A and B are shown apart, each in its own frame.
Chain A
Amino acid sequence: MAQMKQKRLLIRTVILAILILAIVYTIYTNATKERSAILGVGDEAPDFTLVDLNGEEHQLSDYKGQGVFLNFWGTWCKPCTKEMPAMDRQYEVYKEQGVQILAVNIAQSNLEVQNFADQYGLNFPIVMDRTKSVMHAYNIDPLPTTLLINPDGKIERIITGEMTEQDIASFMEQIKPE
């Protein structure tokens, strides 16, 4: 009798545990799906190649060994345009220390982006994601979104929303190669 009871308790525990685990897992994946189904901190940053305003090709994996400050933006997005001058100033400080900025523009025209870059005298490369394929690969929504990629090509941190100049400086410090 006691044995039967023990068996019953075990079966009940197992059934309840499986069911509760399944539900928690479902709710968790549903909750995180919208933000980024594939990408998380610690994941390998998906490689991509895009052409910048000057026609030069930039492949993410070419920057292995350097920290990459990967920023997604558009000229219509106010917080994006606000943080750009600050990014440029910090770029001047950190590029010698091995931190690269890649600013990915979402499917805008060269003219708009060039005008913007000229207006603020931006020096870092701005690459054009014309088919939005890189945006999809990184599951970007909303703008601005910034990914910190360390010298090993792993995602260190994902930042959505505007950053202050202090933030930017500390982020670059974080992904600076040793």
Chain B
Amino acid sequence: MDNIICVCGHENPKGTILCGNCGRPLTDEAEKQKLLDMRYEGSARRSQTYNKSMIDKVWNFFSSVKIGVSLIVIILVAAAIGTILPQVLYVPATTETDIAAYYERVYGTFGEIYYKLGLSDLYGSWWFQTLIGMLGISLIVASLDRVIPLYKSLKKQRTRRHESFMKRQRLFGKGQNTLGDSSLLKSEEKLKELRYNVKVENGALLAEKGRFSRWGPYVNHAGLIIFLFGVMLRALPGFYVDETLWIREGETRAIPETPGFYLESKEFILETYDKSQADEVFGEAIERVGTIASNYQTDVILYQKPEDALPGDTKNLKQIKEESIQVNKPLKFEGFAVYQMDFRLDELRSMQFSLINKETEEPLGDLSIDLVNPEKTYKVGEDSTVELLGYYPDFSGFEDGEPQTKSPLPNNPAFLVKMITPQTPKGETSFVAIKQTLEPLGENEYKLAFQNVETRDVSGLTIRKDKTLWILALGGLLFMIGVVQGAYFNHRRIWIHETTDGQLAVAAHTNKNWFALKKELDQVSEIAQLPAYEDQQELETEVDKKDGEKSS
């Protein structure tokens, strides 16, 4: 119905620029051009064919290279904005309010706006993911829309092209056929030597090589799509785990996202290079920088709960293995890997006090309060006791006379104690915090004098599982193959035929590297005495040479 019928009788779909059979230009525009626009072989891009239903409109939207490029630019700009301030993932706060406060405190008003606009979690935002998804659709639709017609038109190429096609090629020559019939034969021989595929039909010759280079961009796109698919899989349960676990020396913790595994931290070790033992070269560096860490290590025991045990039941944990986790030497089990990522040194573990008489400073004895698991009463000396009425591991002040703790971590421990001594059998109440002692119920005779602390280290571990890696690797590999295919190989074609008036016409086309094509054509011309050709683009200065097939 809407098909275009060429002079040669071939029926072309609507939107075709060059006849699929003889190569005659079919549009007025192409007719006026001195050189043909050879992208997609002048075939009808499918998107330009139908534009009636809603589906076709959506399809054509995504098929547009302009839309694809716009999407890439928008994604680039958005991704760049996401790097201005650290993302939520890297901010030392966990709850929404803490995170908001952090951005405001550290980055001021800009940080506040940044957070409120949701830019602090840009890569996880629905709109960013939508953009990536749209780019994926664009890649698939645009590729399908181009690769299928291109494949079809390259497959059914005719050996003899119309002269109007020939003379609009960049390399074109026409002249006397000096050798007669043998010119095509000689050309064929030489071209085969140059590893062309040669077809000869009725006094016309088509030599072609490197056609697969035309598929480079589409192979490349397929790689990208596979890559995006791999990233998409990460959202599904079971494919990807990336969790953080802070664990203190002596603690046993459930490993998040794992089926019933527990980890106990025995010790965190930080080692530095010893200057006296280091080589001269490094000695200098150590002197300049101070200390240089040589090892970050957490010694752990991995446990697994019995199959029938419920969460919370840690009575019968089975020891799986004992290992030292070092940087780049993770603990591995059942597809999971636990990496050494971070540490905090010297978190308070226990505090030692002396119970002393305030006036005489005479000590009645010592006590050590375990900050992780404090006891109710401590016996001090012969016949005194200290009762712990309250423990506030991260003391942050009073509220309605009530001491408050702002976290469960012993960052700033405070105690409400009752001291019972032979002199004060009813007991004296005291509030003991670091650098602060209050006596809320009147003047006391005794006090707890701070003696010493014991500390422990905290290991920051990362738990990883990634079943998508091989998909990402495959995508990346295909991407590179596509790049190499499209960039380092050229699709070269040479047409030679006898014209009706007994002359010889030569035309040649390549998608890149015209210099090499000319060199090859020169070799053929010399042997077969072909008419001299001209590079019509060099003659013409302002020809718009845009190659839309180049991969993005």
Q: Residues on A close to B: CB < 8 A?
A: 1, 5, 8-9, 12-13, 15-16, 19-20, 22-23, 25-27, 29-31, 33, 37-38, 46-50, 59, 74-76, 78, 106-112, 114-115, 127, 129-137, 141-142
Contacts and interface: CB of A to CB of B under 8 A. Distances in A.
A19 B407 contact: no
Nearest to B58: A16
30 contacts: A5-B50, A8-B46, A9-B53, A9-B55, A12-B59, A16-B137, A19-B137, A20-B137, A23-B133, A23-B134, A26-B129, A26-B232, A31-B126, A38-B237, A47-B311, A48-B311, A50-B312, A75-B405, A75-B408, A76-B394, A107-B408, A111-B374, A115-B390, A130-B252, A131-B262, A131-B314, A136-B311, A142-B94, A142-B95, A142-B96
B195 interface: no
A42 B539 CA distance: 76
Given A27-B130, A27-B133, A76-B405, A33 B312 contact: no
Contacts of A130: 252, 314
Interface string B124-160: 1010011001101100110010000000000000000
B312 A15 contact: no
Nearest to A135: B254
Nearest to A57: B313
Nearest to A133: B254
A31 B405 CA distance: 33
A103 B184 CA distance: 93
Contacts of A19: 133, 136-137, 140
A38 B314 CA distance: 22
Given A26-B133, A49-B312, A131-B312, 15 more contacts: A13-B55, A15-B140, A16-B55, A16-B141, A19-B137, A20-B137, A26-B129, A29-B237, A47-B310, A48-B310, A49-B310, A111-B391, A131-B314, A133-B254, A134-B312
A1 to B, nearest CB: 6
A169 B391 CA distance: 32
Contacts of A132: 253-254
Nearest to B133: A23
Contacts of A76: 393-394, 405-408
B289 interface: no
B389 interface: yes
A16 B137 CA distance: 8
B256 interface: yes
Interface in B231-265: 232, 235-237, 252-254, 256-257, 262
A136 B253 CA distance: 10
Name, among A114, A127, A137, the residue most crowded by chain B CB atoms within 10 Å (CB to CB). A137
A141 B235 contact: no
B436 interface: no
Contacts of B144: 15
Name, among A12, A25, A31, A47, the residue most crowded by chain B CB atoms within 10 Å (CB to CB). A12
B73 interface: no
A58 to B, nearest CB: 9
Nearest to A58: B312
Contact residues of A: prevailing secondary structure: helix
Contacts of B55: 9, 12-13, 16
Interface string B263-306: 00000000000000000000000000000000000000000000
Name, among A22, A29, A47, A76, the residue most crowded by chain B CB atoms within 10 Å (CB to CB). A76
A23 B130 contact: yes
Nearest to B258: A136
B376 interface: yes
B314 to A, nearest CB: 6
Interface string B300-340: 00000000001111100000000000000000000000000
B30 interface: no
A112 to B, nearest CB: 5
A30 B235 CA distance: 6
B235 A106 contact: no
Contacts of A22: 133, 232
B547 interface: no
B388 to A, nearest CB: 6
B408 A133 contact: no
A106 B407 CA distance: 11
Contacts of A20: 137
A127 B144 CA distance: 60
A109 B391 contact: yes
Contacts of A107: 408
B452 interface: no
A23 B311 CA distance: 34
Given A48-B310, A134-B311, A108 B408 contact: yes
A60 B256 CA distance: 21
A162 B237 CA distance: 30
Name, among B141, B262, B311, B390, the residue most crowded by chain A CB atoms within 10 Å (CB to CB). B311
Contacts of A5: 50
Contacts of A27: 126, 129-130, 133
B454 interface: no
B372 interface: yes
A78 B237 CA distance: 33
Contacts of A111: 373-376, 388, 391
